[in-house]
Amino acid sequence: MSLFGGRPMVVHKNGTSREGGQAPPAETRLFQMRANSAGNTRAVEVDVVASNLNSNDTFVLVTPAACSLWVGQGASDAEKGGALQLCDILGVSASEVAEGEETDDFWSALGGRAEYRTSPRLKDKMDAHPPRLFACSNKTGRFIIEEVPGEMTQEDLATDDIMILDTWEQVFVWIGNEANEEEKTEAMASAVRYIQTDPSSRDPRTPIVMTKQGFEPPTFTGWFLGWDAEYWSSDPLQRAMAELQQ
């Protein structure tokens, strides 16, 4: 992301940078903008539905009639600035829309109002306890827990492992469809020990929430950029091979 020289990295839907790999852009498009801890920004084009909004971020909604820059209550100045730069890249001029002040036309372009990812934690990214993601696996013959570095993405969730997501107020234990029974048992016990031994003086009664692949609640998916509800419907290897052939 830092290679883009202060401008956002943009991931377009259904397209690649290879010659002939670009699909014609849709008339209505929605981009989710998020900044990392260094202030570098990335925009991901997501499905145009209201449920993809997130109080954590800014979004750019492009329609044939207008363009809106939606600012979530937890969005940072870097994300707002990145969204303005994205508008320049797309060649559009946007009107700013604060969360909670949306017009009927805005909701209509998204197919109508819908519940989206919002919570007090998502609205306050300046919290001293950023979310952390850990992978739990026994592939080496012993149970190992490793923190996943960098910005969390849906691709970090390994379907043959267990993941632990710490959002401070909750600890999620995510179960991949191909995870084995030993990993499931050890991960739950590890989540309990993780809370009990945390040196950050957290509440020992912090709830542990178990969630399964494909059934993630908004309180879980809201921490990931560009969450795709259909992501698990295809095989990861087949997706990778298809991308190489484009």
Task: Determine the pLDDT at residue 223.
Answer: 87
> What are 187-203's pLDDT values in tens digits?
888 899 889 888 887 88
Residue 161 and residue 143: Cα distance in Å, rounded? 11
Q: What pLDDT is attached to residue 209?
A: 94
pLDDT above 90: percentage of residues in the chain: 41
Res 141: pLDDT:
76
pLDDT at 95: 94
| pLDDT over 90 at 226, yes or no | no
Report the pLDDT averaged over residues 147-153: 85
- Give the angle 96-102-107 at the CA atoms, nearest 5°: 115
| Local confidence band at 230 (pLDDT 50, 70, 90 cut-offs) | confident
Give the long-range contacts of residues 177-181, CB within 8 A, separation 24 or more.
177/212, 177/213, 177/214, 177/232, 180/138
Q: Which residue has the tokens 């991308």?
A: 243
pLDDT in tens, 212-224: 999 998 889 888 8
Tokens representing residue 117 in the block = 């990812």
- How far apart are the C-alpha atoms of 128 and 69, rounded to whole Å? 27
Could you tell me the end-to-end alpha-carbon distance of the chain, in angstroms, rounded to an integer?
Answer: 23
Looking up tokens 């670009």, which residue turns up? 22
Q: What angle do CA 74, 98, 128 make, to 5 degrees?
A: 10
Looking at residue 72, what is its pLDDT? Answer: 93
User: What's the mean pLDDT when you consider all of the chain?
Assistant: 85
Confidence tier at 32 by pLDDT (50, 70, 90) = very high
Q: How confident is residue 39, by pLDDT bands cut at 50, 70 and 90? A: confident
Of 121 and 68, the one with more pLDDT: 68
Helix (H) or strand (E) holding 40: none
Q: Which domains does the chain have, with CATH numbers?
A: 2-109 (3.40.20.10), 132-244 (3.40.20.10)
pLDDT of 180 reads 86
pLDDT in tens, 67-95: 999 999 889 899 999 999 999 999 999 99
pLDDT at 206 over 70: yes
Q: Check whether 168 has a pLDDT greater than 80.
A: yes
Q: What is the pLDDT of residues 3-15, one digit of tens each?
A: 777 788 888 887 6
